Structure 1
Amino acid sequence: MAADKDALLKELRDQQDRIRRQMTELDALVRQNQAEVDKMSQREMSVSSRRRDMEVNFERYEKVDIKNFYTSAQEVQTRVQMMRSQVEQLQTKQQVLREQQDTLQKLIQSLDEVSVVAETTISNLPHVDPQEQIAAIIQAQEKERLRISLQMHDGPAQSMSNLVLRAEICERFLDHDTNQARSEMASLKTAINTVLQDTRRFIFDLRPMTLDDLGLLPTLKRYSQEFGDKNNIEINLMVQGLETRLPGHYEVTIFRFVQEALNNVQRHANASHVRIILEADASRIQIAIEDDGAGFHVAETLNDPTGKRNMGIASLRQQAEVLLRGQMGIESTVGRGTRVVAVVPAP
């Protein structure tokens, strides 16, 4: 038993070291890419200034100069957008690694605590296999990566491909019909803005920056509003006793818990109304998500031998019970909706 625990601790610390090296490399890449973004932004400002001059003194420029300028301007803007997107992706990866580092640290601390507890005390505790915890965490991470990759393929990647095609159409019109080219470019600009907003919403779902800047409650208000509008679900957020901010890992985990619960509602419940209830006092925090959807047989789902039907529940349990050391329960009746509740100790 002790040998297994020591081997597991070594494996976890080795993984910590690998993540630490990756974070160091990412820090350097972010600084390098941010410097490039700053340079390209300066060039973009210069291009914008020249474009304003061209629009005011249009007759002073040759047609070929105008065409070359707009081609160059488009290249600069595309380059700036790509570099900014790369920086955002790197920053998102940094945050994912930080969360993995926090999770590993909690597991290591848990194992260290176990090593100093008497054997008689351990025998009276509920059995929690650290290997199973790690497997559940890895499985949840892979599931989330698959979801992100599918969303990237069906969303921003597809939209970017369409933008390239429309840009090529604009380029063809420049040589034959200037008025039509202007019309197509205006339409292209609108399409780019739409893709930019969709990408920002995707980034918000992935890792809301407001969670760090403003805290849990403003982030949940915005997320639940946008989620409800997107999926045609009326969502009411009710909060009591959370006047101050929580520690960072609490806010992240509670947000992920609510996010996963809402995703489960959207995927399975066919609900029209959802209530999110957050209640806190000096000793505990309770998070409840209630819907009026189809409901399901809880015992049958939890006992599914394939595990495919309870992946969402496993993710919720991991966040509430493993990461915040609380308790989670589910109440559901077919045709009468579902209630998911987590109670975690106050920080």
Structure 2
Amino acid sequence: MAGDDLKQQIEQARDAYKDQQERTRREISEVETLVRQSSGEVDKLGQRELSVSSRVRDLEVNLDKYTKEEIKNFFAAAQEVQMRLQIMRAQLDQVQSRRDMLKNQLNQLNGIIELLNDVAGALSNTGPVTQSNGHDDTEAMIAGIIQSQENERLRISLQMHDGPAQSMSNLVLRAEICQRLIDRDLDQARSELTGLKTAINTTLQDTRRFIFDLRPMTLDDLGLVPTLRRYTTQIGEKHNLEINLMIQGLEQRLPSHYEVTIFRFVQEALNNVVRHANANQVRLLLDANGNALQIMIEDDGGGFHINEVLSSANARKNMGIAGMRQQIEVLLRGEFAIESAIGRGTRIAATIPMP
């Protein structure tokens, strides 16, 4: 029967995600071991650097007590320790970033599995699906969820390839240049190492921003409000966009799935402003009043013909409107609305029942 087939498909998808969940847990355990090992090595090198730096200071004060060869060896040893410490710190940052990204992925998998469990349970409770509309709607919802996950994975893989992966390749090349210069031109090697250190710090900051976009740690640790404040400041500075954030009545934390969904909704809306609106200002309001949370995102951009976009599947998909509507109406049981006109900006509003 159609209902049984759909339930079986859902259970198969859930089992596949459970396998991925287990693999992710194992990889997190392995990366945690690397983090501990790298932290221990950084601590040892840090202690060694202190010792070598102390000897170098003594050497600088008492130069007449040391031969030229001893002075040369001392400074070479100090440079070697400092270089190794910088490399190990960069490696530690990389494995910590990898661990954080895996934990984000695990949280997403947990949410998907929980959602599929709920859908499978609902099908079991309601029995076989006899009306074609009910079957089509449920199947479309599941297909949309799976397609959204695949689209997100594609987006992440492209960003990883064009961002951190490319930067890491460049760092490897620069490190090889430094390695060749050490024996030929020590002064040039020092100059290249300084540039390499700057490039590593830049890559590290870019990677951290990438991780924040994937899943902000502050969302779990501090909650929705601090995360939105940091995110709006970050995206405003990056794109020269004035974002006026107003939050009222949200003194307490919301359930985790509320905070995640609301953040993704706001994130998608602001991404649309950056990509399509050509706006200078954005007004973002979250007002928890009584039994409902009102969300409003309004920009002063160029606007668009709302009917044309909503009637065009490709345009609606490119702007993520279908996903935003699904987040509010399906996941949070709320109401979603969008208004826009050429030359008059765009206004997105949502009303969510408070938990």
Interval containing the TM-score (normalised by the shorter chain): 0.7 to 0.9
Give 1:337's aligned amino acid.
G
What residue in structure 1 maps to residue 105 of structure 2?
96
What residue in structure 2 maps to residue 24 of structure 1?
25
CA contact (8 A) 1:302 1:310 kept: no
Cα-to-partner distance string for 1:42-91 (whole Å, 9 max, x where unaligned): 23313422442354236664646754664565345324423432332233
What residue in structure 1 maps to residue 44 of structure 2?
43
The reply to whether residue 105 of structure 1 matches residue 114 of structure 2 is: yes
CA shift in 2, pair 1:37/1:221, >3 Å: same
Whole-Å Cα distance in 1 between the matches of residues 136 and 104 of structure 2? 28
Structure 1 residues 283-302: aligned runs within 5 Å: 283-302=291-310
Whole-Å Cα distance in 1 between the matches of residues 142 and 53 of structure 2? 57
CA contact (8 A) 1:12 1:108 kept: no
Unaligned regions of 5+ residues in structure 1, if any?
Answer: none
Cα-to-partner distance string for 1:128-177 (whole Å, 9 max, x where unaligned): 72322222222222322233233333333333333344444444554455
CA contact (8 A) 1:44 1:77 kept: no
Give 1:104's aligned amino acid.
I
CA contact (8 A) 2:35 2:95 kept: no
CA contact (8 A) 1:288 1:341 kept: yes
What residue in structure 2 maps to residue 281 of structure 1?
289
Shift of 1:236: 0.7
Greater shift, 165-174 or 312-321, is seen at: 165-174
Give 1:312's aligned amino acid.
G
What residue in structure 2 maps to residue 226 of structure 1?
234
CA contact (8 A) 2:336 2:350 kept: yes
What residue in structure 1 maps to residue 93 of structure 2?
84
Q: Secondary structure at the match of 2:320?
A: helix
How many pairs does the alignment contain?
345
CA contact (8 A) 1:321 1:328 kept: yes
Query: Would you tell me which structure has more helix in proportion to its own residues?
Result: 2
Cα-to-partner distance string for 1:295-338 (whole Å, 9 max, x where unaligned): 12222222224467445112212322232222222111122111
Structure 1 residues 164-203: aligned runs within 5 Å: 164-203=172-211
Shift of 1:111: 4.3
Shift of 1:217: 0.7
Greater shift, 21-30 or 162-171, is seen at: 162-171
Greater shift, 311-320 or 7-16, is seen at: 7-16
CA shift in 2, pair 1:19/1:162, >3 Å: closer
Whole-Å Cα distance in 2 between the matches of residues 184 and 283 of structure 1? 60
Whole-Å Cα distance in 2 between the matches of residues 24 and 296 of structure 1? 45
Give 1:267's aligned amino acid.
R
The reply to whether residue 161 of structure 1 matches residue 169 of structure 2 is: yes
Cα-to-partner distance string for 1:81-115 (whole Å, 9 max, x where unaligned): 23432332233222223223223323432442354
CA shift in 2, pair 1:41/1:336, >3 Å: same
- Identity in percent: 48
Larger Rg over CA atoms:
2
Whole-Å Cα distance in 2 between the matches of residues 54 and 263 of structure 1? 54
What residue in structure 1 maps to residue 159 of structure 2?
151
Q: TM-score, normalised by structure 1?
A: 0.86
What residue in structure 2 maps to residue 211 of structure 1?
219
CA shift in 2, pair 1:243/1:159, >3 Å: same
What residue in structure 2 maps to residue 247 of structure 1?
255
CA contact (8 A) 1:301 1:310 kept: no
Q: Secondary structure at the match of 2:251?
A: coil
Whole-Å Cα distance in 2 between the matches of residues 90 and 256 of structure 1? 22
Greater shift, 305-314 or 203-212, is seen at: 305-314
Q: Secondary structure at the match of 1:336?
A: coil
Whole-Å Cα distance in 2 between the matches of residues 50 and 82 of structure 1? 22
CA shift in 2, pair 1:79/1:206, >3 Å: same
Q: Secondary structure at the match of 1:116?
A: helix
Give 1:74's aligned amino acid.
M
Q: Secondary structure at the match of 1:296?
A: coil
CA shift in 2, pair 1:326/1:76, >3 Å: same
The reply to whether residue 316 of structure 1 matches residue 317 of structure 2 is: no
CA shift in 2, pair 1:119/1:194, >3 Å: closer
What residue in structure 2 maps to residue 238 of structure 1?
246
Q: Secondary structure at the match of 1:239?
A: strand
